[in-house]
Structure 1
Amino acid sequence: MRGPCAELLLLLGLLLCTATTIGFALNSTHNSEVRCMEKERQSLLKFKQGLMDDNGLLSSWGNHEEDCCKWEGVKCSNRTGHVVKLDLRGKHFFGGSKVLSGDISSSLLGLQHLIYLDLSSNEFSIFFPEFIGSLTKLQYLNLSYNTISGTIPQQLGNLTSLISLDLSWNYFGLMENYNLDWLRHLSSLRNLNMCQVNLSKVANWPDKVGMLPSLLDLRLSCELSMPTPHVLSNANSSSPLSFLDLSFNLLNSSIFPWLLKFTNSLVVLDLRFNELQGSIPKTFGDMVALVDVYLSFNNLEGVMPQTLENLHNLQVLDLSNNNISGEVINLTKFSFLRELYLSKNRLNGSLTKSVAVLSMLQVLDVSSNSLEGNITESHFSNLSNLHQVDFSFNSLSLKFSPAWVPPFHLDVIRLGSCKLGPNFPQWLHSQKNFSQLDISDSGISDTIPNWFWDLSSNIQFLNLSHNQITGTIPLQWFLTRFIGSPLIDLSYNFLSGPLPQFHSDSSMLNLSNNLFQGSITSICETNGNLSYLDLSNNLLSGELPNCWGNLILLAMLNLANNNLSGRIPDSICGSRDWLQTLHLRNNNFIGELPKSLMNCSSLGLIDLGENRLFGRIPMWIGTSLPNLMVLRLSSNLFVGHIPFQLCHLTSLQILDLSDNSITGTIPKCLNNFTVMTQTQSSHVSIDHTYFPSSRTSFIIDFDYIDSLLVTFKEKYLEYSKTLGLVKVIDLSSNKLKGEIPREITSLSGLIGLNLSRNLLTGIIPQNIGDMERLESLDLSRNHLSSIIPPSLATMSLLSYLNLANNNLSGRIPSGTQLQSFSASAYSGNRDLCGLPLPKRCPGDETAQVPQTGSKQGEDDIQEHANSHEHLWFYTSIALGFIVGFWGVCGSLLLKSSWRHAYFQFLERIGDKLYVAIAIRKAKLLRKFKTQG
């Protein structure tokens, strides 16, 4: 028999034979005339004594029932009465479970006729029970999904009758100098599952498993790596291996030659989450028995080989999350294909219409590539079985006629960043039962039609964000159309009206950047599943409700840029420590910071700027919030000193206390801000992976990246993905006194420092040049005195400087970096002189140009000019060379080291060049005047 399912039927037949073999041996049909052996009955009771059975899984054992063959999980042979099967698999169900824990007693040795032992899915936290190696008649052994630790004993090699062995998902430790020699004795083994057993130090695993003559099903997600070539045997395998799972390992592309040993037998191949590199070998096309192929989450590159077209029986092809480039191969050969995953690669070109021949296709995912062109009705003409489609994050345009009725009914619709607009897609009217819909950033500028509100009542994920959609949401729509723990994103539209009633099990809710009005009391209708809530940039008003204590999983809260008022309620954090991000900026909140924030020890970002909060900055911010990276309290009414406890925030990278009424001095301990002393970038983004509910069948990977409005170089700039680069201290517009602590200069990673508009005195720290990453420095409007430190001229990245309105004196240090700023950067310092100020310093008189109205002055100028004629000639040549060099290589000089050398060069010739230019100017003026 030939065809796409021939190999699968063969595999099922072999497994059926396995089950039949075990079934006949068990002979589970109970004969009431045969009772269990008393010795075995006592062994079972002794085994029970070592167990903890809080949920009564073994309640039938010994209670009014003498015959152990009738006990839960026990089966006896109806011919001999011996116990042959013990099935005590833990029972898990929604809302609870029935599991065993305690000890696996060696009393089971009394069951010498046992051929089936299943203790999986329990809570046994013990070392591996080595005595099991003495139950020599075992054919089926399953200890998976426990917390068994230690080392797998070599005695398992005694179980020569084993047909199925499952030791997966336990806590077996790293097995140094361990080998799998015991496997060679298991000549009958057909199924082997050791997933999550750490075999990273086992070098001979390919040869050992490859020589098992009966092996059909092998699952080894065990941190495996490939042995060196001279260790790997070239001997052909005698195994008829059909199912191979080597996912979540450290395998490289040298695994491919070993796979060819199973060319004629391999049906299912899973190599996801490894370290495969290079191109997919052309020899892959020789494995013609393959039905399911999973190669996702590797580093494969190159084009899809044409030899893949030889895999006529292919039903699942997963190449997602690689670096595969080129165009999609001809799909007409895959007539049995059910699932195609090509997402997150570098594929280009168009999606050919050959996809239309895949009449059995159920899943089509080509998202996150560089595909372009039009998708028309002809692409879907024969895809009546399609239930999941993902075209998102390409450059595709969906061109369907308004009257088109698709031949399919989709469950998952993902079309983010595709071109669907400007009208709302009419063809969606026929999709009545979808669970996921993403048409974000699709160019829709239309009102949501009324029929949309009556579509699916099974929605688990909805994303209509980044369009120009108008309309109002029916107040109870969230309650009636969503199931499970839905994720909802309607942000960046023009939706208006009051907030709808929220679904009680919502997991993510983003309604930001719309025109919603009124109160947010509907938030109290949600329960503890909500992790992400963003209602920022709306027209919401009123006070915050006091029900936040119910949201025990809330990690991100953003209510910024609304008209909310009143006090921040104590329940905003409650007794939990889950909250990571708190944005309440630009509202009308009053009062002191609630002490309940002390309980939010996971907080990484606090932005409460632009409100009317008052009182002192609490000391507990520095002691109770150790993970804080961003603290922004600007434009409020805070008073008192800066608490030195803030210096405990070693992860802090943005501190903004500007525009308050803070007094006292700047703490000297700011050099404890460890992150600010590091020149490399830090990572500020907060990532969430949502598991909506045990009642749903999908996982949504949702990454939330914090954004923040920062005052930088006298501008408001919003940082998001680059927020990790921003390290800023802003204490401006307060009433701080005293000197600038020299300790602040150790913050070499700082890019912005603003201490302006205070009452600071003393000098600018002499070693301020140590702040090598500084791009913006504002010390204006203080009472600073003395000279500008020469080290300031060495700050090659400095692009914004303001020292105006102080008491600085002396010459502005020479160097093109400081002379490149406008005079306003130094204005209001009466005793400051030198370029770019018009005031010259003592000793600069030769650079002054005399009045041309005096003949004596003109003669002096002429004489002086003659003496410098040759100097001007050569400096003009030098100046021309510099200008030309900058025009050609200016971009190269952006490198800080080159730019620093360039500035030093200009500094050396600066004085002479200035004098020569001044004389030349005077000479030309005289000439023009004479000619006039």
Structure 2
Amino acid sequence: MVAFSQPWQYLGTMRTRIVVFIFLFATGVLVGKGCSDSTMRCIESEKQALLSFKQSFVVKDGDYPLSSWTSNTDCCSWGGISCDNKTNHVIQLVVRRRQLRSEINPSLVQLKYLEHLELPGNNLSKIPEFIGSLTRLTYLDLSGNPISGTIPYQLGNLTSLSSLSLSGTRDNYGTVTVSNFGWISRLSSLKYLELVNFTTTSDWFQSIQRTPSLTELFLSGCQLPEVDTSSLSHINPSNSFKSISMVFNTIHPTVIPWLLNLSSDLVDLTLNQNHIGGPLPNSFGNMPSLEYIDMHDNEFEGEIPKSLGTLSNLKSLDLSFNKLRGTLDNLLGSQVSCTTQNQLGGSVFPALEELYLDVNLLEGPLPSSLRQLPKLLVLSLGYNLLRGPLPNLSPFSSLERLVASHNKLDGSLPESIGQLRNLTTFHVSSNSFSGVISEPHLMNLSKLLYLDLSFNSLRFNLSSNWVPPFQILYLSLASCTMGTRFPNWLRTQSQLSTLDLSNSSIFGDIPSWFSNVSSNLEHLDISFNHLSGMVPNFCVWGSPVVDMSHNQFRGAIPPSLSNASELYLSNDKFTEFRRLICTPNNILRVAVLDLSDNLLSGTMPDCWLQWRRLGILNLENNNLSGIIPSSLGSLDLQTLLLRNNSLSGNLPSSLSRSSQLLVLDVGHNSLNGKIPTWIGETLGLKLLSLKSNEFYGSIPSNLCHLDSIQILDLSLNNLSGVIPSCINNFTSMAHNKGDAYATIDTLYFGSRIPRRYQNGALLMWKGLEYKYDKILGLLRLIDLSSNRLTGQIPATLAKLVELVQVNLSKNHFSGIIPTNIGELNRLESLDLSHNQLSGKIPMGLAKLSSLAYLDLSNNHLWGRIPTSTQLQSFDGSRYAGNIGLCGPPLTSTCPEDKTLLVPSNSSGGNEREWLDMSWFNSGIGVGFVVGFWGLCGTLTFKTAWRHAYFGLLNKLGDWLYMTIIVQKARLRRRLKS
């Protein structure tokens, strides 16, 4: 240790040490910074190339990562850029979902060391050829771009590429063409290939098969043409493929057997939603490694192939949404080859965990061999033709989901269901099960989340103090008998999102504890019961669907129900709804409000401005009075049903702003005034009913703009004037526009997904009034009956060839029935009775084979009723009141019909005494023989006479034909004069 004699000596030494330390520290920092700058500073030429590339995009302020690309910063620190730590070259470029100006700037060629390029969702319209010069690329993703044109063959130069994704967007389906797939087979390192929305050539399969390292293939939305199978015979199967996924493609069925032989090491095979028809190939024998098969939503027919029995490693099999027939026993009985080959001691599908066979044509009972699937977690068999009872389920100790809905299964449900401790889903609705559900059925189901026993004949027998072992999310017991009171065991279920107890024979009030259950509900259906009393103000949050219709609820509707997204309260005994409508609510999301068939009275509240999302309003069959509030016109209504109330006044002009309105029914009220012209000018109605009101004046020609109208009912008013001749502009009545127009249901957006509201209408059909809903969209109908309309029936009516009913009865129409009315070849009902029509019944009516109802009574028609199977089948009363009509089915004969009468016996003696006919009877035979052989014998032996005779007959026939034509023309001229 060094000793210092003076303190200053020590201080000097310390000062020196501090100076040296600071110097060394500063030097280290500078050296470190210099080293950092030298390792992170990108190469200037590549930086300039990236800045030029940036110009290809529309860049906004703060638009990361491109906003970080500035000339005064290190490009290796830019967003989406990575550089090699040793060489400083840019090796990764990622720019996702940015707005491309036109095409990619070719400056990217300068990035010769680029290995990873991602440009998905960038509005790229063309794949640039220069990408083929980036030979170091191992990863290329150009997916989600509206690419068009052809893929450049230069991509085949990317021999280091291991992953390639080229996909367009769905709106340019099939616009990208792979004109020659040969370049793909040159990608010797390629392991993953994704093509979406492409059109390929016939060599696509051969080229893919020759790609040596390819393990994963994903094709979606592609047009894959038929393959020349003769060119495949010399190609050996590849062992590289592990996964093939082909979804939403157009695939020729002949390709499927070759796909099933593509690789013996294939693990995952997905061929769903390709609409492949024909039998499912029996070609699974060369794929022992398969673990996952998904071929759902195709059109496969026939039985399930037995070669599936060799797949002993199979974990998931999905063949749902096809047309497969046969029995489950056929499938499970084919496993002998699997058990023999793999010596698994008799267990079938020993690794199978999931089996999906929904929506097929499978029949027969559920076989006992199902028990031999030891690892089964999911068994889904819904929408088939299966019969018989459910087997004992206790062997399925691992089962988590069992779906067998919409079959023909019967018998009682086994109590062994209660032993399935892992069960989360039990769905057997719409079968023929019967019997009692007791506590043992639900005893150990602590994991149960989804229970659907609806539409069976099951009866619940649970004690009032029973506490379920589960907290269920989805519970549907529709049409099951729950007992006379609201199920008390539901009070413990605080997680319920769906509760359906419709048509379950429940009486009494809704219990007060139900508020705790309803707080999380997304769907509540307690309709078609016998519930009564006042509806409690229970909590409804999250915009659920609430259906409390067809009960006996009374009093006022609580405002809390306005938090629903759809509210069905029809066919009850509610008397007041003003608080529901007018209580302020800032979160109103109601899209459907159905309060029809109640006891609502008084004037309609004018508080609709806050109901902005309301699309369907049904208040029909109440006792509402006063005027229709103008605030309804501020809503985007699609359906407005106010039929059968006591409303008065005019239709409010504010409804002219309801441009989305498809159905307007204000029939059976006391509305008056003229029919507004704005109905045809601003609305796109499919159904218009002003029936049974006090509208007057003429039918405005503006109604002819309703080109989507399918049902027009203006009957039972005081309308006058003529029918506008422009009615042929009702194009939905003139042309079949397909299935999209075969419905008058209203499409609306509820809380989550698009749904349809089934509109209904009360229509006069074949003389009787009916309520139509499900088939309403199939009708094309015009009803103008019971008015004071005059003039002629316009001939343009016959242009509406889709019409199935026309009712113009009880008016003052004159003139003739349009002669072209026979063009209405779909007409089923025609009522022209109680008018002043004249002339003859058109012959065209006789051609209407579909006509099932006809009433022409009480007019001034005359002449013979045309002869046809249809017209003579109607009762004579349908022609009564037309003094000039004659012929069947009327008893009156026409003047031109002459009947040969036999003379009466004036001497009062016997007819045989008056005229002895014995000589005449005996002479008939002699006369026939002489006449027949006299003429025919002569013509047989005399050739010249035979030719002359038949020539005379031909001339006589021509003369007779011309005489009839001339006389007919003269008669027509006389009738016209």
How far apart, CA to CA, are the structure 2 residues paired with 1:849 and 1:57?
A: 110
Do residues 283 (structure 1) and 307 (structure 2) align? yes
How far has the Cα of 1:665 moved from its partner? 0.7
CA distance in 2, matches of 1:475, 1:331: 49
Per-residue CA distance 1:859-880 (angstroms, 9 max, x = gap) = 899999999xx9xxxxxxxxxx
Alignment of 1:735-814 (within 5 A): 735-789=788-842, 791-809=844-862, 812=865
**Residue type matched to 1:78 in 2?**
N
Structure 1 residue 734: deviation in Å?
0.7
**Equivalent residue, structure 2, for 1:589:** 647
CA contact (8 A) 1:315 1:337 kept: yes
Q: How far off is 1:521 after superposition? A: 5.8
Identify if the C-alpha distance between structure 1 residues 831 and 37 changes in structure 2 by more than 3 Å, giving closer, same or farther.
Answer: closer
Q: Show structure 1 runs of 5+ residues with no match.
A: 1-29, 91-98, 694-698, 871-932
Per mean C-alpha deviation after superposition, the further-off stretch among 358-367 and 731-740 is 358-367
What is the identity, as a one-letter code, of the residue corresponding to 2:107?
Answer: S
Structure 1 partner of 2:48? 42
Displacement of 1:384: 2.6
Note the alpha carbon deviations across 1:461-493, whole angstroms, 9 max, x for none: 3444455555654324223xxx3x534444444
SS in 1 for 2:836: coil
Give the letter aligned to residue 352 of structure 1.
P
Q: What is residue 617 of structure 1 aligned with on the other side?
A: 675
**Which letter maps to 2:48?**
Q
Deviations for 1:798-829, whole angstroms, at most 9, x for unmatched residues?
33333333334455556675454444434444
Residue number in structure 2 paired with 1:898: none
What's the C-alpha RMSD, in Å, of the aligned pairs?
Answer: 4.3
How many residues align structurally? 812
Secondary structure at the counterpart of residue 784 of structure 1:
strand
Which residue identity lines up with residue 52 of structure 1 in the other structure? V
Task: Provide the rounded CA distance (Å) in 1 between the counterparts of 2:737 and 2:912.
Answer: 56
Query: SS where residue 75 of structure 1 aligns?
Result: strand
Q: Deviations over 1:78-123 (max 9, x none)?
A: 3333333334445xxxxxxxx5554644334343333333333x45
- CA 1:543/1:271 → structure 2, altered by over 3 Å: closer, same or farther? farther
Shift of 1:173: 4.3
Deviations 1:281-328 (A, max 9, x none): 222333333333343333434434224784433333333333344444
1:342 equivalent to 2:381? Answer yes
Question: Are residue 514 (structure 1) and residue 567 (structure 2) matched?
Answer: no
Contact 1:242 1:268 in 2 (8 A): no
Once structures 1 and 2 are overlaid, which stretch shifts more, 727-736 or 605-614? 605-614
Q: Does 1:684 align with 2:723?
A: no
Q: CA deviation at 1:232?
A: 6.8
Residues 270/198 of structure 1: CA separation in 2 closer, same or farther (3 Å cut): farther
1:718 corresponding residue in structure 2: 771
Q: What is the match of residue 595 of structure 2?
A: 535
State the AA in 1 paired with 2:385. R
Secondary structure at 1:183 match in 2: helix
- Is 1:460 aligned with 2:522? yes
Residue of structure 1 in register with 2:694 after alignment:
637
Q: Is the 8 A contact 1:167 1:194 kept in 2?
A: yes
Q: Distance in 1 between matches of 2:869 and 2:173?
A: 65
Q: Which amino acid aligns with 2:293?
A: L
CA distance in 2, matches of 1:52, 1:344: 52
C-alpha distance in 2, partners of 1:47/1:679?
53
Which residue does the alignment assign to 1:435? 497
1:789 to partner: Cα distance: 4.3
- 2:220 is paired with a residue whose SS is coil
How many Å separate the matches in 2 of 1:376 and 1:448?
Answer: 32
CA distance in 2, matches of 1:244, 1:632: 56
Residue 708 of structure 2 corresponds to residue 708 of structure 1? no
Q: State the match for 1:607 in structure 2.
A: 665
CA contact (8 A) 2:744 2:776 kept: no
User: Does residue 76 of the first structure (1) align with residue 129 of the second (2)?
Assistant: no
* Aligned mate of 1:563, from 615, 620, 623: 623
Letter in 2 for 1:85: Q
Q: Aligned partners of 1:254, 1:448: CA distance in 2, in Å?
A: 61
- The equivalent of 1:56 in structure 2 is 63
Letter in 1 for 2:163: S
Deviation digits for residues 898-929 of structure 1, max 9, x if unmatched?
xxxxxxxxxxxxxxxxxxxxxxxxxxxxxxxx
The equivalent of 1:135 in structure 2 is 134
1:475–1:186 CA distance, 2 compared to 1 (3 A): farther
What CA distance in whole angstroms lies between the structure 1 residues aligned with 2:883 and 2:578? 55
Select the structure of larger CA radius of gyration.
2
Opposite residue 136 of structure 1, the aligned amino acid is T
* 1:134-169 deviation line (CA, Å, top 9, x unaligned): 333232333333444444333332332233333345
Amino acid at match of 2:39: V
**Are the equivalent residues in 2 in contact too, given 1:416–1:442 (CA < 8 A)?**
no
Q: What residue in structure 1 maps to residue 712 of structure 2?
A: 655
Alignment of 1:396 with 2:433, yes or no, is: yes
After superposition, give the CA deviation of every residue in 1:666-686 in whole Å (9 maximum; x if it has no partner): 222333434434689864325
Mapping of residues 202-213 of structure 1, within 5 Å: 202-213=201-212
Aligned residues with identical type, % of pairs: 41
Aligned twin of 2:279: none
Structure with more contact order per residue of length (Cα contacts < 8 Å, sep ≥ 6): 1
Change in 2 beyond 3 A, CA 1:492/1:384: farther
AA aligned opposite 1:187: S
The CA deviation at 1:410 is 4.3
Secondary structure of the structure 2 residue equivalent to 1:336 = coil
Question: Could you tell which deviates more after superposition, 293-302 or 608-617?
Answer: 293-302
Write out per-residue CA displacement over residues 604-637 of structure 1, whole angstroms, 9 at most, x where no aligned residue: 43322222333322334334345x4322221122
* 1:243 matched to 2:267: no
Task: Give the structure-2-normalised TM-score.
Answer: 0.73
Change in 2 beyond 3 A, CA 1:394/1:271: same
Against the structure 1 CA distance between its residues 814 and 35, is the aligned structure 2 distance closer, same or farther, given a 3 Å change threshold?
Answer: closer
Distance 1:598 1:857 in 2: 86
The superposition leaves residues 425-468 of structure 1 with CA deviations (integer Å, 9 ceiling, x where unpaired) of 66655544233344545565675555544226433334444555
Structure 1 residues 64, 749: closer, same or farther in 2, change over 3 A? closer
Q: Residue 215 and residue 586 in structure 1: after superposition, are their counterparts in 2 closer, same or farther (change >3 A)? A: farther
Contact 1:73 1:87 in 2 (8 A): yes
**Distance change in 2, residues 1:150/1:748 (3 Å):** closer
User: Following the alignment from structure 1 to structure 2, what is the Cα–Cα distance between the partners of residues 687 and 153?
Assistant: 49
With 634-643 and 53-62 compared, the bigger mean Cα shift is at: 53-62
- CA shift, 1:733, in A, is 0.9
Deviation at 1:556, TM superposition (A): 4.0
Measure how far apart 1:758 and its partner are: 1.1
Tell me if structure 2 keeps the 8 A contact 1:505–1:526. no
* Contact 1:769-1:795 within 8 A present in 2 as well: yes
Q: Matched residues in 2 for 1:147 and 1:553: separation?
A: 35
Describe the SS at the equivalent of 1:804.
coil
Residue type matched to 1:654 in 2? I
> Cα offset for 1:660?
1.1
Deviation at 1:752, TM superposition (A): 1.8
- Give me the whole-angstrom Cα distance separating, in 2, the residues matched to 1:187 and 1:37: 31
**Distance between the aligned counterparts of 1:860 and 1:670, measured in 2?**
69
Specify the alignment match of 2:352 in structure 1: 314
Residue type of the alignment partner of 2:497: S
State the shift of 1:737 in Å. 0.8
Pair 1:369-2:407 in alignment: yes
Q: Which amino acid aligns with 2:726?
A: C
Answering whether residue 324 of structure 2 is matched by residue 300 of structure 1, we say yes
For 1:417, the aligned partner's letter is F
Decide whether the 8 Å contact of 2:715 with 2:787 is kept in 1.
yes
Give matches, 1:889-900, under 5 Å: none
Shift of 1:511: 3.3
Show the counterpart of 1:95. Answer: none
So what's the TM-score if we normalise by structure 1? 0.76
Tell me the secondary structure at the aligned position of residue 478 of structure 1.
Answer: coil
